[in-house]
Structure 1
């Protein structure tokens, strides 16, 4: 007998919930924020919108489906199944975080604060969930397949990410290493820097956005790209980015 699909709602603790957990009461949290020039009404409003979106998505799950909820901090302990439809309710970064623990399950990104979040990975509203969930379970066309980047150490440890992986020292110390492309291992170069980033094609535009520039179409088409840790060397606000260094690689 085939199992009914399971909707897994992924969410994260809101800032308001974290404040209440830390300070105990609404009033104490309000006092803490006011001492830093902030108002609790804005934080509480964002909390209510997030809770409302989560409730709306939960109500949109088909009756015959199973349902589970998982908070971001518990993702590494949650067992996802092949029949799951993952609904991420929150920010773009939550999709990237959840993707590390998935293996081909469809993901529906629901934006809790349209207009505040970029909406690159959380493209939908909570009101769209009732229509999207059956299509996602059926494998309907219209979904984007995203490439993950993975780092493997010499002792077998693995780290994967949807956005990018930093390889280097935790501080600003200079590290020495050899960088090569799998397609051309004979072209390895000795390097010395604080570290470097490895990212799939979707990630570099976000990183370049913080530098005040975006890569061209050729760079976006690359499947994999590496770049220096300091994006400030690639461009400044209001100026086009400098070309990538000669040791950037594409696989």
Structure 2
């Protein structure tokens, strides 16, 4: 079996993106000043991320291989079963990475503990160094103790599918009403005209899903490791042909929520990544259920 490979995932910093857009530091500084910000703050965040990356790079065990990939290139990067993934950045970057994984352990590294919630990026760069060297000394990546976080998968009837760590959204690409027919696992069905629907994991239950549940008086939601999903229809509109009685529920393992498209086009995307989406046309069926590949997050 091949030696493990540490794959470091990160994204471009705000400073790098500003320099791409404005070409010089002077132009970038002027742009920030017009918006009441300073280049120093942006530079400090850039420096903290680079320092974290340097620490993780230096932590790669001598016998391991090493690769790096930016968020924008993940869909084109070939991951292998023996990879260990070190995500250096914010919680959202872990969620963005999860859809490309198949049981590889993930170490979330927080370059700014004072700024990030650290729900998924749970480790400092120095703690990541210790974890990697302990795994190398033990001679197995199984030394890395992981929690299995539930994922959610949406699948079109033509075989296309998309997964999310937090949630998937199904709705119109703009602010128009989404029209569809929803069928629950129990076989109850209803036609809807709504702002779309979300199906959330326990990880996502602290974000978008939580705000919807709170608006409805509070609902018990799954925890990140629960093999269950919560679903909510957003702003269902009553009319002679559309109803509002089936607007929330829970999907247990093995259960499926079915959505039959009754609009010219609906989109499906996960974890807020609208550019990475599926498009379903009139009459197509979308099924949503618990994902078969949980995220293995090093605790």
What TM-score do you get using the length of structure 2 for normalisation?
0.73
Matches within 5 A, 1:65-144: 65-133=64-132, 134-135=134-135, 137-140=140-143, 142-144=145-147
Aligned to 1:227: 232
Aligned to 1:150: 153
How far apart are residue 191 of structure 1 and its match? Answer: 2.1
Q: Which one has the bigger helix percentage?
A: 1
Matches within 5 A, 1:167-178: 167-178=170-181
Moved over 6 A (4+): 214-217
Aligned residue pairs: how many?
235
Please state if 1:201 is matched with 2:202. yes
The residue matched to 1:139 in structure 2 has which SS? helix
Which structure exhibits the higher relative contact order, with contacts defined as CA atoms closer than 8 Å and separated by 6 or more residues? Answer: 2
Aligned to 1:190: 191
Aligned to 1:55: 54
**What are the superposed Cα offsets for residues 87-124 of structure 1, whole Å, 9 maximum, x if unpaired?**
00000000001111000000000001102111100010
Distance change (3 Å), C-alpha of 1:246 and 1:22: closer
1:12, 1:90 within 8 Å by CA — same for their partners in 2? yes
**What are the superposed Cα offsets for residues 127-174 of structure 1, whole Å, 9 maximum, x if unpaired?**
112221244952236311011111111221111111111101012222
Distance change (3 Å), C-alpha of 1:36 and 1:131: same
2:233, 2:247 within 8 Å by CA — same for their partners in 1? no
What TM-score do you get using the length of structure 1 for normalisation?
0.86
- Measured in 1, the distance between the counterparts of 2:180 and 2:100 equals 29
**What are the superposed Cα offsets for residues 11-37 of structure 1, whole Å, 9 maximum, x if unpaired?**
000000011111111111101100111
How far apart are residue 250 of structure 1 and its match? Answer: 2.2
The residue matched to 1:166 in structure 2 has which SS? strand
Structure 1: where are the runs of 5+ without partners?
231-243
Q: Which one has the bigger strand percentage?
A: 2
1:85, 1:105 within 8 Å by CA — same for their partners in 2? yes
CA RMSD of aligned residues (A): 2.3
